Amino acid sequence: MTVELVPTPLTDAQFHALTGAVLSSIESTVDRWLQDDVVDIDTHRTGGLLELSLPNGSKLIVNTQPPLHELWLAARSGGYHFKHVNGQWMDSREGQEFFALLSACASEQAGVALRFAPLA
């Protein structure tokens, strides 16, 4: 099933600013979890690609797609493509919000409840 989303028009500069903030937010959250001894997730960022390595050896990969103005998530449960719609990154297939889906995938793969918060 594909959800018909009308993406918010973005300039390339806006796209890079928005996705950079998303990646930084994820890194900050993981750093906080490490400090608070919640879960041991390693992050590795190369440009617009952020790799999260979970304790059981599984990975989550968040990748920016500048030509498409999309944000992609690769998880055990599958691959997801997100478009920026009304201030949120929404999955183009099922209409799920990015941070909610990232939280669900991370929780499932880490075996502990984890929540990534949307940007304020």
Distance CA 109, CA 120 (A): 26
One pLDDT digit (tens) per residue for the chain, 120 residues: 555 778 889 999 999 999 999 999 999 999 999 888 888 899 999 999 999 999 899 999 999 999 999 999 999 999 999 999 999 999 988 899 999 999 999 999 999 999 999 876
Return the CATH fold of 12-38+47-110: Metal Transport, Frataxin; Chain A (3.30.920)
Cα distances (Å, whole numbers) of residue 30 to 38, 44, 53, 92, 106: 9, 11, 11, 26, 11
Asked whether the beta carbons of 116 and 106 are under 8 A apart, the reply is yes
Q: What is the pTM of this model?
A: 0.91
The token pair that represents 54 in the structure block = 């979970």
Residue 85 pairs in a beta bridge with 88
Nearest to 8 by CA among 73, 88, 66: 88
